[in-house]
């Protein structure tokens, strides 16, 4: 089954729920964390060879030549690493096929995105698409739930495979 079909990608992109469902279908457990911090990110990136995991972030992509984010440019990227020495986040960018690097401060300013939700409107007696915002969303994927990090954050949820 193709990735786009598995994630149910539409012209509006891939929703967080469908991305999580696709990871579960592939046998991966997912930890979804909203309002993630640098500590969460660094902790998620630390793992040993016996318990590999991947970290995915959802952020506003820079489609303009001056590297400024565009609101309708939500993008998922896998986190390659974080360099504490120069406070830079390195992402694997599927759009360009290479790596992308952001200073932590600049990345924080673009670390949000939204999914479209169908909302029923009584007055108009019909559905409309509305935006459901995700702030500093981080998805941590692992083969087993026990390999996911544990955070004390009320905006954290585990989706076992």
Q: What is the DSSP string of 9-32?
A: -BTTB--HHHHHHHHHHTT-EEEE
Instruction: Choose the weakest-confidence range: 8-12, 56-60, 83-87, 105-109.
Output: 8-12
pLDDT digits (tens, 9 = 90+) for 101-126: 999 999 888 887 777 777 777 777 78
Other Cβ atoms within 10 Å of 100 Cβ, number? 18
- pTM of the shown model: 0.80
Residues 6+ apart with CB under 8 A from 52: 142, 143, 147
Q: What is the per-residue pLDDT across 87-105, written as a single tens digit (0 to 9) for each?
A: 999 999 877 788 989 999 9
Handedness of CA 97, 49, 39, 150 (dihedral sign): positive
Q: Which residues pair with 103 in a beta bridge?
A: 88
Which domains, ranges and CATH numbers included, belong to the chain?
A: 3-159 (3.90.70.10)
φ, ψ for residue 104, nearest 5 deg: -60, -45
């Amino acid at each position: 089954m193709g990735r786009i079909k598995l994630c149910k990608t539409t012209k509006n992109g891939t929703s967080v729920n469908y991305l999580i469902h696709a990871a579960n279908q592939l046998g991966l457990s997912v930890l979804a964390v909203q309002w993630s911090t640098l500590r969460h990110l660094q902790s998620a990136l630390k793992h040993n060879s016996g318990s590999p995991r991947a970290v995915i972030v959802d952020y506003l992509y820079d489609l303009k030549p001056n590297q400024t984010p565009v609101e309708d440019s939500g993008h998922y990227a896998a986190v390659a690493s974080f360099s504490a020495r120069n406070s830079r986040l390195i992402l694997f960018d599927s759009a360009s096929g290479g790596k992308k690097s952001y200073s932590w401060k600049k990345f924080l300013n673009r670390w949000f995105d939204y999914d479209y939700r169908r909302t029923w409107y009584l007055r108009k007696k019909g559905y409309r698409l509305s935006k459901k915002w995700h702030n500093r969303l981080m998805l941590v994927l692992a083969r087993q739930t026990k390999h996911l990090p544990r955070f004390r954050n009320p905006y954290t949820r585990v989706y076992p495979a």
